[in-house]
Amino acid sequence: MINKEVSNAREAIRDIPNNATLMLGGFGLCGIPENCISALVEKGTTGLTCISNNAGVDDFGIGLMLKTRQVKKMISSYVGENAEFERQLLSGELEVDLIPQGTLAERVRAGGAGIPAFFTPAGYGTEVSEGKEVREFHGKMYLMEEWLKADFALVKAWKGDKSGNLVFKGTARNFNPMMAQAGKITIAEVEELVEIGELDPNEIHTPGIYVQRIFQGVDYEKRIEQRTTRIK
Amino acid sequence: MLDKIGIAKRIAQEVQDGTYINLGIGIPTLVANFIPENINVVLQSENGLLGIGPFPDEEAVDADLINAGKQTVTTLKGSSLFSSAESFEMIRGGHVDLTILGAMEVSENGDIANWKIPGKMVKGMGGAMDLVASADNIIVAMQHKSRSGDSKLLKTCTLPITGIKCVKKIVTDMAVLDVLPQGGFKLLERAPGVTVEEIKNATEGELIIEGDIPEMNI
């Protein structure tokens, strides 16, 4: 087996250049690559295009990179939790592409799966369809959407082995598996890095072929956006 | 007039046994609280969970288990977890039987607007466009009128639309209505204490009234 372990986030992101296109896994703050984001903030890489379902909150997740003005463009489906994002958007400092969530997920999946384009009904007849090829199949109208790929995909998993096999937990899976497939270089950070052979092959969610670098993450905060509990 | 709880209770009566349902944020989320015990349904959360359980006890809160509104939730016996791509395969593929979501405006031909108000902050459509474009059965939970008293059941939506010709049924604070395939809002029920005349005045789009309109039974 191939050993893909690197020592930490700093080493994993060492060659991400300015103006790179990144994919970052996560839904809200759930399943985001916390360590890689911190390392990018520390390194100060700028001009980034970030493909991610959301844009974090003001002081966590991608919000940290927005604050330091490292992001040139966001490609997302929902960005409503972030005041700094709003400020940069309204002042024209930040470009934003808003995409229906299922279309975003499928465009990323298509990128990793070698499917250059596909047809989806989402957004037909709305402003999302502007400038896109429309076709009718079996009496229903569909939009053509193209694949998305990235120079680097930054994903977060629960467990991983040193050959890059990944296992996710709960709803922290979300966009991570497709992004792992769609990155030219995919960097996986995991809460628990184990030796090759310690994960049950039956339970791997993302096979290691998609992962180029993996490291044991540290100091996970795993912040919760809406802590909602049962009233006793 | 119904409050939000009333709207949720009335929508819960539409829920059929053995179905898979996606609930939007807001009033639709409340519907889950009023589904009768003898009706078995599975709730889908588009961030990758089938079988949404109740909110957790304080000690069971898990940052890795949230719903599409980013609230902490639990799983149930028989729940399953999957990626966002698979989640929308379920939605686009027609495997989710019913979508219940909120709206800012609905037009008489079933167009829905619920994602953007020009000039104000644009937050994004999230999964709403995928859901409305794909579901065979969509119920909308909404207020009949805006705060300033303008109808939200219109001839044509004024706000940017989320999907065209997709809404089948609407439950508002004033009425239950079907959107007919050929267009028009067919009045089915009145909210307690609301007259047909009041509903007429609150509906800008074509309102179809046939026979006596019963009061909702909640």
Digit-coded pLDDT (tens) for A9-41: 999 999 999 999 999 999 999 999 999 999 999
Q: Does residue A178 belong to any structural domain of this protein?
A: yes
How many angstroms separate the CA atoms of B80 and A180, rounded? 21
The reply to whether B135 touches chain A by the CB within 8 Å rule is: no
Model pLDDT, residue B121: 65
Q: Which domain holds residue B58?
A: 4-208
| Nearest residue on chain B to A80, alpha-carbon basis | B123
Q: Tell me phi and psi for residue B85, to 5 degrees.
A: -65, -45
Question: Which chain A residues have a beta carbon less than 8 Å from that of B92?
Answer: 102, 120-122
Model pLDDT, residue A132: 98
Q: Does residue A42 belong to any structural domain of this protein?
A: yes
DSSP B28: H
B163 and A125 within 8 Å at the Cβ level: the answer is yes
Residues of B (154-193) whose Cβ lies below 8 Å from A: 160-164
Residue B93: CATH number of its domain:
3.40.1080.10
Question: Which chain B residues have a beta carbon less than 8 Å from that of A53?
Answer: 84
Q: Does residue B174 belong to any structural domain of this protein?
A: yes
Rounded mean pLDDT of A117-139?
97
Q: Which domain holds residue A53?
A: 9-116+148-216
- Residue B218 pLDDT > 90: no
The reply to whether B85 touches chain A by the CB within 8 Å rule is: yes
Of B14, B46, B105, B197, which one is the catalytic site residue?
B46
Q: Does residue A29 belong to any structural domain of this protein?
A: yes
The reply to whether B203 touches chain A by the CB within 8 Å rule is: no
Q: How many domains does chain B have?
A: 1
The reply to whether B127 touches chain A by the CB within 8 Å rule is: yes
Q: Does residue B216 belong to any structural domain of this protein?
A: no
Q: Does residue A83 belong to any structural domain of this protein?
A: yes
Q: How many domains does chain A have?
A: 1
State pTM to two decimals. Answer: 0.97
Q: Residues of chain A with pLDDT > 90: what percent?
A: 93
Terminal Cα distance for chain A, rounded: 51
pLDDT averaged over every residue in chain A: 96
Q: Does residue A225 belong to any structural domain of this protein?
A: no
Residue A54: CATH number of its domain:
3.40.1080.10
Q: What is the ipTM of this complex?
A: 0.96
Which residues touch A101 (CB under 8 Å, ≥6 apart)?
A: A53, A77, A78, B46, B84, B88, B125, B126, B127, B130
Which residues touch A18 (CB under 8 Å, ≥6 apart)?
A: A45, A46, A47, A48
pLDDT averaged over every residue in chain B: 96
Residues of B (38-77) whose Cβ lies below 8 Å from A: 45-49, 54-58, 61-67, 69-73, 75
- Residue A218 pLDDT > 80: yes
How many angstroms separate the CA atoms of B109 and B155, rounded? 8
Q: Does residue A232 belong to any structural domain of this protein?
A: no
Residues of A (80-99) whose Cβ lies below 8 Å from B: 80-81, 86, 89-90, 98
Distance from chain centroid for Cα A42: 19
**In this complex, which of A80, A124, A176 lies closest to B133 when CB atoms are compared?**
A124
B83 and A175 within 8 Å at the Cβ level: the answer is yes
Q: Are A155 and A190 in contact (CB under 8 A)?
A: no
Q: Does residue B44 belong to any structural domain of this protein?
A: yes
Give the model confidence (pLDDT) of A139-169 as tens digits.
999 999 999 999 999 999 999 999 999 999 9
Give the model confidence (pLDDT) of A66-85 as tens digits.
999 999 999 999 998 788 88
Give the model confidence (pLDDT) of B63-109 as tens digits.
999 999 999 999 999 999 999 999 999 999 999 999 999 999 999 99
Q: Does residue B218 belong to any structural domain of this protein?
A: no
Q: Tell me phi and psi for residue A199, to 5 degrees.
A: -95, 140
Pick among A171, A203, A229, A231 to test the B interface (most B CBs inside 10 A): A171
Q: By C-alpha distance, which of A2, A52, A47 is closest to A26?
A: A52
**In this complex, which of B58, B64, B162 lies closest to A171 when CB atoms are compared?**
B64
Place of tokens 């019913």: B98
How many angstroms separate the CA atoms of A61 and A54, rounded? 9
Q: Does B37 qualify as catalytic in the annotation?
A: no
Which residues touch B90 (CB under 8 Å, ≥6 apart)?
A: B20, B44, B50, B96
β B185-190/B207-208 pair status: parallel
Question: Which chain A residues have a beta carbon less than 8 Å from that of B123?
Answer: 78-80
Question: Which chain A residues have a beta carbon less than 8 Å from that of B81?
Answer: 168, 170-171, 173
The distance of B50 to chain A (nearest Cα, Å) reads 10
A171 and B81 within 8 Å at the Cβ level: the answer is yes
Residues of B (4-43) whose Cβ lies below 8 Å from A: none
The distance of B63 to chain A (nearest Cα, Å) reads 6
Q: Does residue B134 belong to any structural domain of this protein?
A: yes
Q: Identify the three-state secondary structure at position A57.
A: strand
